[in-house]
Amino acid sequence: MNRVTLSAYAKLNLTLDILRKRPDGYHDVQMVMQSVSLHDDVTVALTDGAEIACRCGDIPGDESNLAVKAARAFFDAAGVAPCGLDIEIVKRIPAQAGMAGGSTDGAAVLRALRALLAPELTDAELLRIGADVGSDVPYCVRGGTALAEGRGERLTFLPQAPCLYTVLCKPDFAISTPMLFSRVRLDALSNRPDTAGMLAALQAGDAVGVLARVRNVFEDVLPESCGEVFAIKSRLLALGAEAAAMTGSGPTVFGLFRDEAAARAAYEALSAEYRQTDLAQFV
């Protein structure tokens, strides 16, 4: 086998809390994350030589791409002799959307290289390699439902969340994650999630309990220029979403539904207003 194609799933933050600022300048966070069916397709093929080529639509395929960074990290850490690679990514997850689009592509490259070159590598070993690539990469290696702590690299995998449908809507602007962190004043945050309650609801398979605890503390520190986030959130709730929030550092907003028909109707209404709107479900 010299070629493999894998699905790279997007993630949502069901909860996102910021606990403290660390001495190294980063923040300790606590997040419950969930994979959804919106995905990129990542194909990795072995080639002659030593070049790593990456084609990723309009996104640069150079060393700034996490797929390339992941490949180099794999060769550095896995005890495998470097070889040439051709990486092709069919993008469906919007870029700069708060859904780990780059991280999940990098994680897919790690999984593909394990399948092609080092099938004996355990998930734990692959997660350690992923941590050197980016904070969300270890989560994306396994996906599903997980609690992420520290900078996001400390993971506790949880029982699979109840099946929910989601409408994802990204407005036509990006939000800088460092800018949002710079606006955080820990004693002024009011939208903190009930993480313990979310974990209990997941353990119980309680969809209503999960829906009641969806929160993202970054919504507290959005600048006025990002007011469209709240407009989309209100629109989703008016269209029948049982919960809605921004994911990650945004700007994508997601609405959650227990009923697939209701989700589809909301998707059709919102996609007429916003071009980057998707319908997905938990995976």
Integer angstrom CA distances of residue 49 from 44, 67, 229, 232, 250: 15, 18, 47, 49, 40
Is 21 assigned a catalytic role? no
Closest CA to 189 of 181, 199, 178: 181
Is 62 assigned a catalytic role? no
Pairing between strand 3-21 and 215-216?
parallel
Q: Residue 131, Cβ neighbours under 10 Å: how many?
A: 19
Residue among 105, 136, 170, 233 flagged as catalytic = 136
| Omega cis (within 30) before 251 | yes
Integer angstrom CA distances of residue 240 from 166, 192, 193: 11, 24, 22
Residue among 11, 69, 170, 233 flagged as catalytic = 11
Which active-site residues does the annotation give? 11, 136
